[in-house]
Structure 1
Amino acid sequence: MWWKSNDGFFLTDLLLSLSAWLIATTILLPLAIYLIGQSIDLRHGTDALHLLYERLQEIKLGTPPTGIDTVEKNGAVFNYKIVHHESESVMEVCVEYNGYFSEKRSKCAFTE
């Protein structure tokens, strides 16, 4: 019969397909991890910008707070740092946060 003359074909086919999966996984898995990290960094950056502009609006509308405030949003801890420059009537607001790969990042803006 036809299937009795194909001894060992299943084993080589299995090994070939497993090696193809292994090569594809070693190439695509680090890329996927990197892209997930980049998307989390992007989300934290936009959250920091939203918090920064909210704080700038609060300063413009009311009495300016001083000091450092901490806010947790979407699993990230954001530290507000408000600096008042004595020589000018300008205040600087900075939002500091940790990135996905544990590097410090900050977004800063000045009031008018």
Structure 2
Amino acid sequence: MAMTVFYLARQKSLGLGGRIAIIAFLLGIIGHAIETSLNIAAWAGEFDQSLYFSIESYALVCVIYSGMIWNFGFIVMAMNRLHGDMARVAETDELTGSRTAAFHEKAGESRTRIQ
């Protein structure tokens, strides 16, 4: 999980989906850390069982919901990438590979210079 956060944080254009995924991963890491430390403390006998069960349930819910949220972040990242690909396909001429919008802009500029 930490390696995924590190990889996502190094990306140049992270976007909303990447930020959602990073926050969810960090939430999951915190939940796992709380759960692990409580298990170690309970195993050593240094922690009250009733308090252990109440905190442990919240940590477990935190981990479960973080998994759902990071999947949502990955879905948003995929949708953003597909949107960018579709925009690139819509703006690019298939035969020449040039951007059609740029062609129309240049044609308009040259038309105004001629007139």
TM range, smaller chain: 0.3 to 0.5
Which structure carries more helix by proportion?
A: 2
TM-score norm. by structure 1 comes to: 0.40
Which structure carries more strand by proportion?
A: 1
TM-score norm. by structure 2 comes to: 0.39
- Structure whose CA Rg is larger: 1
